Chain A
């Protein structure tokens, strides 16, 4: 394609933060589409360098390494913001969301729970000893962008949501999302979209069947906003004691939560909070999810163990198609 020529649909893709990162741009020139991808890709690289616990050189690895020591570590502003967001999410979800579940995942034998080598060598005993003590676990010096945590943390889900938020904000601020051009940005099952879609009407987002069958269970119409899903489809394994377990840990019990549920999807204006609420709703289980979702006014879809798709009224208003009703 030639720079300056209108691009009906331009797509870009690479791996970031352990998932596929995809950007679809509509109605922009090739140059503008590539500029949007540069902004997105750069922001995700910066976010991963700040928030990833799988990078030896990341800011989070340094903070986790010093966990429990009380030493303030100077970090990228993204990590300070992410830790503050995780702390706030814990408060707003009554403890359903908690970034300090690494020790539980490790105890259950989660393959991805291993700490970065330097952290593991130095602080594995600290992880076991500190656990999730109630009270303040995070200290931030905002003037110096310095933080310290009482226990090693994992910002996987909310970190990805925040990276989506920050990358999307950069694209919007660049003037690339308006009535003349739209985009959809995906990162590992979570996404944010806005502006015109490739066809007349809103962006259409399929809800994955958590049993693994092909084809979506429903389609969500997204004019502008984010969608996030918490699901047990991928991260399931057999625990050391032989139990089938998954990675969505209930911080209140230290065990896999979400009894009776396979997946929860939440739509909202912000990808980070959509991610927080999808996980928190999942942990409320099949018996509690409807009441919590309604109490919070959330647009939520969930699939129970019998593969039944249910949703709130707010979600129904955004649903353009349901497989079982087709």
Chain B
């Protein structure tokens, strides 16, 4: 009986092929990794610029929000001032009416004598009322003001 021959050379070929494939795969992987690193390095400034732009945008957004808030407050103040101006206008109108009325009354009064430089207001006399209670028991003055030469 004859022993069948085994193809050893096939196994060797298969082993060598697998080894070559592994070496190739490692080389390709290494090349790809290097390429990715270069690409990332090349894209770095652009990424930084994008981040900066985002930051500026956020800051501008904050300012817009603040400006909007200020505008709202100014709007409220303006509304208040408008109300006050309306009240002031009303008072001025009343005052103008009073002035016209006084001028109208003054036109009925006789003209002052030429020597009078100003309208004479009534003097406060001893017969008038008092805010300081000048009546009462006679005080004992500490001194008397009067003519010099005593």
Contacts of A324 in B (CB 8 A): 126-127
Indicate if the CB atoms of B150 and A20 lie closer than 8 Å: yes
Interface range for B: 20 to 34
Contacts of B12 in A (CB 8 A): none
Select the stretch in B43-51, B77-85, B94-102, B141-149 that faces chain A. B141-149
Contacts of B125 in A (CB 8 A): 308-310
Q: How far is the CA of A317 from the CA of B130 in the complex (A)?
A: 9
Indicate if the CB atoms of B145 and A228 lie closer than 8 Å: yes
> In chain B, residues 85-133, which have Cβ atoms closer than 8 Å to a Cβ of chain A?
117-118, 120-121, 123-127, 130-133
Partner of B121, one of A206, A290, A321: A290
Contacts of B130 in A (CB 8 A): 316, 319, 322, 325
Q: How far is the CA of A311 from the CA of B127 in the complex (A)?
A: 11
B139 at the interface (CB under 8 A from A): yes
Q: How far is the CA of A208 from the CA of B141 in the complex (A)?
A: 11
Indicate if the CB atoms of B142 and A215 lie closer than 8 Å: no
Q: Which residues of A contact B (CB under 8 A)?
A: 18-20, 22, 24, 156-157, 160, 184, 186, 188-191, 193, 197-198, 203-208, 210, 215-216, 218-220, 227-229, 231-235, 263, 265, 290-291, 294-295, 308-313, 315-326
Indicate if the CB atoms of A219 and B141 lie closer than 8 Å: yes
Contacts of B149 in A (CB 8 A): 18-19, 188, 234-235
The B interface is mostly helix, strand or loop, or mixed, namely loop
Contacts of A265 in B (CB 8 A): 145
Contacts of A325 in B (CB 8 A): 126-127, 130, 134-135
Contacts of A189 in B (CB 8 A): 144-148, 150
Looking across the interface, which residue of chain B has its beta carbon closest to that of A185? B143
Indicate if the CB atoms of A309 and B126 lie closer than 8 Å: yes
Q: How far is the CA of A207 from the CA of B132 in the complex (A)?
A: 17
- The verdict on A231 contacting B141 (CB below 8 Å), with A311-B124, A313-B124 known, is no
* Least distance between B140 CB and chain A CB atoms (Å): 7
Q: Name, among A206, A233, A309, the residue most crowded by chain B CB atoms within 10 Å (CB to CB).
A: A206
Indicate if the CB atoms of B147 and A215 lie closer than 8 Å: no
Partner of A322, one of B135, B145, B147, B150: B135
B6 at the interface (CB under 8 A from A): no
B7 at the interface (CB under 8 A from A): no
Q: How far is the CA of A219 from the CA of B135 in the complex (A)?
A: 10
Partner of A294, one of B121, B136, B141, B147: B121
